[in-house]
Amino acid sequence: MNSFYYILFLVYLVPTVMSVKEVTKENCEVCVTVLDKFVASLKSEDKADQKKVHSELMKFCKNLKKTENRFCYYVGGLEESATSILGEITKRVTWGVPSEKICQQLTRKDSQICELKYEKQIDLTKVNFKKLKVKDLKKILSDWEEQCKGCTEKSDFVSRIKELMPTYAPDAAKALKERDEL
């Protein structure tokens, strides 16, 4: 009878444990990046208190946007989160566990965590705005939290972006001036 349980253990439990692969910044970029930023933002005296780490993580998550906000939703760092595995994070942060190992533990609880990826950023210093789609131009404005009211043509969006570039992307504006495109 004992051998039956042993075989059952090997058949069901071992593949589950083995299926979680090594987590790195490349294959779990959002989780590792967010946790690295969070741990760096903590004061050294706060890292020892699990309740303080929990409250600081909740505050930290309120200011995140897009993909990082989605990560906070998955782990329970937002008030509207359906589930919460913050205890897994706060415990390990107080123990000084590296972000990669924390993310590996979180992936065992929720496989979606390492599936999050950052959106590709458009390099404004090298881009030819005339070749971009209107959707991409709108995304640039959206990332800057700006709008283009009354813009109907692609050229309207390009003009608005070039107008706002010195404020939001000064290096890109400087590069465009050097090429006489601004």
Same-domain status, 85 and 148: no
Q: Report phi then psi at 103, rounded to 5.
A: -65, -35
Whether 9 is in a domain gets the answer yes
Domain count of the fold of the chain: 2
Closest CA to 59 of 48, 46, 67: 46
Range of the domain at 42: 2-115
- Identify the pLDDT of residue 116: 92
Residues 14 and 59 in one domain: yes
The CA-based angle 143-148-154, given to 5 degrees, is: 95
Give the model's pLDDT for residue 120: 83
Check whether residue 40 and residue 75 sit in a common domain.
yes
End-to-end CA distance of the chain: 79
Phi-psi map region of 127: left, alpha, beta (phi>0 left; psi -120 to 50 alpha)? beta
One digit per residue, the tens of pLDDT, for the chain of length 182 reads 556 555 545 555 444 444 556 888 788 999 999 999 999 999 888 888 899 999 999 999 999 988 999 999 999 999 898 888 999 999 999 999 999 999 999 999 988 999 999 888 888 888 888 899 999 999 999 989 999 999 999 999 999 999 999 999 999 899 888 887 76
Q: Report if residue 56 sits inside a domain.
A: yes
The DSSP annotation for 44-81 comes to TTGGG-HHHHHHHHHHHHHT--HHHHHHHHHHT-STT-
The pLDDT of residue 182 is 62
| Whole-angstrom distance, CA of residue 48 vs CA of residue 37 | 17
Q: Which two tokens stand for residue 67?
A: 């993909």
Residues 40 and 67 in one domain: yes
- In angstroms, the CA 65 to CA 77 distance is 13
Using a 10 angstrom Cβ sphere, with 0-12 exposed, 13-18 middle and 19 or more buried, the burial of residue 57 is buried
Q: What is the pLDDT of residue 18?
A: 44
172: which residues sit within 8 A by CB, 6+ positions away? Answer: 124, 125, 165
Let me know whether 107 and 31 are in one domain. Answer: yes
Q: Are 23 and 96 in a shared domain?
A: yes
